[in-house]
Amino acid sequence: MVAKVPDEQVMADLDGAVKWAGANGGNTRKVGITGFCWGGRITWLYAEHSKNVQAGVAWYGRVVGTPSPLSPKNPLDLASSLKAPVLGLYGGQDGGIPLISINQMKDVLAESGHRGNAAARDSEFVVYPQAPHAFHADYRPSYRKAEAEDGYRRALAWFKAHGVA
């Protein structure tokens, strides 16, 4: 079902959620976003889209893909205009997200960082060499306890270091 929702709508929905949170006691200067798989891709997109986001953590979200009317751009296309740093947590054995795409993203972020984009410069990746896709999903055979726990610790520390937690 989520594959049928346009990225534009998802960004607007997230903007609405942040607005709602701000109107109901939330601090819109401490916005963090995290997501897994499809949501990992959305994490990258929203960190580029919203000036309110302070930090993101993307769990194995694809960074490249074929553009479509629903998903006209991918994280790699938007990396140079990232507004918040993202921690990417990926599996080295992920058959759907080749390491070459992660390395392409690293290169674009590094180049953007050299040009003065602090969010791009401060973004990081952790690749767990033996982990497959969905290594944090404890209800699937792909679950890897050590990597999942390490990633969770890193995510919490990332949000704290960037003023979200």
Q: 49 an active-site residue?
A: no
Q: Exactly one of 49, 133, 136, 162 is catalytic; which is it?
A: 133
Residue 94 falls in the annotated catalytic set: yes
Say how far apart CA 162 and CA 124 lie, in whole Å: 13
- How far is Cα 54 from Cα 163, in angstroms, rounded to an integer? 7
SS3 26: coil
CB burial readout 71-80, b (16+ within 10 A) else e: beebbbbbbe
Q: Active site residue: 7, 94, 136, 162, which one?
A: 94
Distance separating alpha carbons of residues 4 and 136, to the nearest angstrom: 25
d(CA 157, CA 155): 5
Residues in the chain: 165
Catalytic residue among 37, 49, 136, 162: 37
What is the β-pairing status of strands 86-91 and 31-36? unpaired
Catalytic residues: 37, 94, 133
